[in-house]
Amino acid sequence: MIRFRNPGTQYSTQIQVIKLLYNALHDQAFFTLDDMAVVIAQGKMMTAYGYAGDDALRLSNTDQKSRNSAWNNAKMYAEIFRMLGWVTPYHESNSYPMVFTYIGTHVAQSTGDCSKLYEQCVLGINSPTLLTSRMRYDERVRFFKCALRTFIDLGGVMYKHELCLGPMSVNDEDEQAYQDMIQSLKSLRGSHRRLDRAFNALAESLGMKPGSVDNCTRLPIALMKSCGWVEDVSDRSLYGSALDCLQITQHGIETYESLADMYDLRLDQYLRLDEPTQQSMIRLGIYSMLQRAGYDISDVQAQVAEDRAQSRGIIGDKDLLFSPYQTIRRAQVERALGIDMGIGLESGLHTETFGSAVKDREALYGIETWSLNIPEAASRELLALPEDQAFLHQVDQMVEGGKSSREIVDALFDHYIDATKDTFYPLIATLFKIMGFDCRFSRAGDNGARWDAIIDDTERSIPIEIKSPTEEQHLSIKAIRQALENKIILLSRRTYMTLPEVSTLAVGYYMPNERAEVARLISDIRTTYGYRVGVIDLKSLLTIAVSILVDGKGFEKEKLYTLEGLVNADF
């Protein structure tokens, strides 16, 4: 299966960043990840631990580059820009340093809307290429062309896991393999259990966790949305329950129809061509991309006519679908175009020149762990709602099946990876009720409740900000701010009784990615307002609740009322 990495995917941000980098670095012969990190940070296009600019660089500056968030942020952009053909390796043998490409220069120097050229770059993504020798997959596919075709052949609507089982795991040059893939996906529909079984089997065959495989869909979905090819839709017809699915747009259909009429040149065929024809294909590929994106190519029209004549025996009168910078090494492309992109000054920016302030933030990084060693029975009198009973039934079934507490937690955690608000909010309330807290969640349409759930207490009520995994998988800074707002509003309106020193909670599927940044904000909130903010993830809540239900052991509940910072729980 194609492993799409999960870098930042906001189209407008990508355009801003490539422009920023080009303006700062285009006079250099090449640029490094250090160059990128410094330019992006100083351009205020990233933050680290709540800070931007030079402070972000200092706070990120660790002894190990792999743990430097500014450097990793630069690497994230480098990976997606390379995938889009905007930058390419300077040397043939190493991925870094890099140079801007002829296409990347067009994007960086654009003064108006460059979405059409962006779309051509997304369509240019294909595998294998001469630039991906270290890839861990062997699919031979132009993914986005294949994905659009798959949408159409499956009636226009797909669930994201079908992307993994379908166009991300097929050789689209093999028509029989493609048709078999379509039939396989059709055979899964109608049963969510069949889909889960197939998806989990795929993850196991790849040696990956289901959540990691799921993450591989985030970038391709974001790119398809940025191009206007798909849109979100809620659908019950595919698997019998409401799922957040994707639906192909009319523009997506028209895009595939135009692709179907083009000559799709892949790496293997290109390598079999003689050198004059290769050079013609390179020029036709580049100029065709620009022409389809609305650029005036009249200055090279004579060369295009000559190249069409050279390649007519292969492509006929068809338009050519071939993105050289995304398929072959730059030396071949630049030789065909008669240009040289690797001339200029030496690279001159280094993250090491910024003093390290890592020790200033490391004290904020720790996560408290709650031990489950206090005898406790589940508060079943609180578990009266259908959602509560359904959860208890799930756990009882797994206990009867011989699963251990840890296996039950892992299974439930994976089960809720795609939970929406309608499922996730009641689940969080159920877990707190098992722990002995009278917790109530806000139902959809209840505009009077500012918080998503609340622990109702005669004196020490606790508001809870909840983020379902379909909202954000990792709790963010925004969730912490909303938890603060919940506390302020509760103290002001006194809808439930509480005290200033009682915690306000943020609960989500995963802990925050930038834990130290969140911890710093929580510390700042305590310093400025005097309020405590606690952060708990789903696996910790499941661990506590299952331990109580199965093992009869819980935690010291008084800790919840004064929780500050990030906490987890373990058996």
Residue 395 lies in a domain: yes
- DSSP states along 452-494: SEEE--SS--EEEEEE-TTT-SB--HHHHHHHHHHHHHHHHH-
Residue pair 392/549 in contact (Cβ under 8 Å)? The answer is yes
DSSP 443: P
Residue 555 lies in a domain: yes
Closest CA to 503 of 447, 554, 462, 456: 462
Q: How many domains does the chain have?
A: 1
Element (H, E) at 307: helix 301-315
How far is it, in rounded angstroms, from Cα 67 to Cα 340? 35
pLDDT tens-digit map of 254-274: 999 999 999 999 999 999 999
How far is it, in rounded angstroms, from Cα 215 to Cα 3? 9
pLDDT tens-digit map of 195-227: 999 999 999 999 999 988 998 999 999 999 999
pLDDT tens-digit map of 324-356: 999 999 999 999 999 988 888 777 666 555 555
At residue 366, the pLDDT reads 58
Q: Is the dihedral of CA 539, 544, 548, 551 positive or negative?
A: positive
At residue 361, the pLDDT reads 47
Q: How far is CA 46 from the centre of its chain?
A: 17
At residue 445, the pLDDT reads 53
At residue 570, the pLDDT reads 80
Residue 296 lies in a domain: no
Residue 418 lies in a domain: yes
Residue 468 lies in a domain: yes
Residue 411 lies in a domain: yes
User: Is it true that the peptide bond before 512 is cis, omega within 30 degrees of 0?
Assistant: no
Residue pair 484/478 in contact (Cβ under 8 Å)? The answer is no
The CATH number of whichever domain residue 434 belongs to comes to 3.40.91
List, in sequence order, every residue forming a beta bridge with 196; answer none if it has no partner. Answer: none
> Using DSSP, how many helices (H) and how many strands (E) does the chain show?
25, 16
How many residues in total does the chain contain? 571
Residue pair 333/282 in contact (Cβ under 8 Å)? The answer is yes
At residue 119, the pLDDT reads 97
pLDDT tens-digit map of 448-504: 568 999 999 999 999 999 999 999 988 989 999 999 999 999 999 888 999 999 999
At residue 50, the pLDDT reads 58
Q: Where do runs of H (alpha helix) occur along 384-420?
A: 386-400, 405-415
394: buried, middle or exposed (CB in 10 Å: 19+, 13-18, 0-12)? middle
How far is it, in rounded angstroms, from Cα 15 to Cα 54? 22
Residue 488 lies in a domain: yes
Residue pair 237/226 in contact (Cβ under 8 Å)? The answer is no
Residue 218 lies in a domain: no
Which residue ranges in the chain fall short of pLDDT 70? Answer: 6-9, 48-51, 59, 63, 133-135, 348-367, 444-449, 516
Closest CA to 39 of 349, 343, 345: 349
At residue 569, the pLDDT reads 87
At residue 381, the pLDDT reads 87
Closest CA to 149 of 126, 125, 178: 178
At residue 358, the pLDDT reads 44
Q: Is the dihedral of CA 128, 132, 133, 136 positive or negative?
A: negative
Q: Print the domain residue range for 505.
A: 363-570
pLDDT tens-digit map of 128-148: 999 876 667 788 999 999 999
